[in-house]
Amino acid sequence: MSMDLIIEAKDVAKWYGAFQVLKDINLTVRKGERIVVCGPSGSGKSTLIRCFNRLEAHQKGEITVNGITLHDRMRNVAEVRKNVGMVFQHFNLFPHMTVLMNCMVGPMWIKGASAVEAKKIALRFLERVRIPEQANKYPVQLSGGQQQRVAIARSLCMEPAVMLFDEPTSALDPEMVSEVLDTMTSLARDGMTMVCVTHEMGFARAVADRVIFMNSGQIVEEGNPEAFFTNPQHDRTKLFLSQILKH
C-alpha cells in the first residue's frame, strides 16, 4: 500500500438487520483527491462515508484510513477521527457554545492546545471560511449558510488529512448554497483531500477528480466528471442524471 492512500475500502459490506446497505464496496482515496459521491436517496452514500470515521460499523471487508484499519475492537478510534473531519447535513454545531468555542474545543480537548493557541487556530480557520466577525455569537444567531461554514471551520481546526461532507448543502436555503460551495471549492483549490456526498452537480463538475455513482448499496459507476456527465455508461446513471438535470 502506498503511503499517499488516505482511505482504502476493500469489499466493504454492511447490513441494517436483514437489509444490506453496502455491497462489496471497493474505493481508494489518494492524498489530495476530491471525490464526489452521488446517487438516489437510500443508496448508501451517507452510510459509506460515515463508515470512514467509524460513526457506522461495517460488517465485512476492510477499511483503512490514514494507515489505521477500522474494526470492532480498535482502541485508537480517536486517532482516526482526529485525522478525518466531518461536515453534516444539519451542521450539528454545539448550540451551547459560541462560534469561537465550537472551533476551539477540538484543539483544546484533543490536542491539548492552550486556550490562547486554540483561539489563534480557531480565528485562523474562521477567517478561512470568511466569518471571523461572528466569532462571539451563538450558532442560533447565524444563518444556515454561516452555520455550515462554521461547521467546516470547526473540522478544519483539527487540521484533518481528509474532509468528509455529508450532503452539506441539502438543508440550506438556495441563496446560501453558493457560499458553502464557494468555501468548499476554495478548500479543494488548496489541495484538501475531500469526499463529498452531494447533489450539486455544478460543484462536482468543477471540483471533483472523480465522481462515484451509487445505487442500492453498490458503486455502479465511477469516472472523471467529464466522462460521467457527458457519457454515462450505466442505465441507472443515465436515469439519475436525466432526473436531476431536467430542471
Partner 1 sequence: MLYPDTVEAEVLVHKPWFVVTMFAVILAIFLAFNLTGTTMGELMRPVIGDPLQSGLYGRFAVAFVVAVIFSLNVVLIGFAPLKIQIAIVWFELLLLFLAFFETFHLSLPFIWEKLPFLITQGAVTTLYVSAISIVIASVIAILGAVAKLSTNGFAYAIASFYTSFFRGLPLLMQVYLIYLGLPQLGFVIDAVPAGILALSLCYGAYMTEIFRSGIQSIDRGQWEASRSIGFGFGITMRRIILPQALPVIIPPTGNQFISMLKDSSLVSVIGVWELMFLARTLGQKSFQHMEMLISTALIYWIMSICLELIQSRIERHYARSKVR
Indicate the DSSP class of residue 78.
Answer: H
Min. distance of Cβ 144 from partner 1 in angstroms? Answer: 14
Min. distance of Cβ 124 from partner 1 in angstroms? Answer: 17
| Residue 193 exposure: Cα atoms within 13 Å on the Cβ side | 18
Residue 155 is a binding residue for partner 1 (CB under 8 A): yes
Give 6 or 219: the residue with its C-beta nearer to partner 1.
6
Distance CA 139, CA 150 (A): 9
Give 163 or 220: the residue with its C-beta nearer to partner 1.
163
Count of all residues that appear for the chain in the document? 247
Give 103 or 187: the residue with its C-beta nearer to partner 1.
103
Closest listed residue to residue 134, CA positions, set 168, 100, 177: 100
3-class secondary-structure state, position 182: helix
The count of chain residues that interact with partner 1, using the rule CB under 8 A, is 27
A 10 A CB-CB count for 98 gives: 16
Whether 80 and 68 have beta carbons less than 8 Å apart is answered as yes
Give 35 or 84: the residue with its C-beta nearer to partner 1.
84
Closest listed residue to residue 43, CA positions, set 203, 212, 218, 240: 218
Under rule CB under 8 A, which residues in 55-114 are in contact with partner 1? 55, 78, 81-82, 84-86, 88, 90, 92-97, 105-106, 109-110
Residue 158 is a binding residue for partner 1 (CB under 8 A): yes
- Binding residues (CB under 8 A) for partner 1: these are 53, 55, 78, 81-82, 84-86, 88, 90, 92-97, 105-106, 109-110, 138-141, 154-155, 158
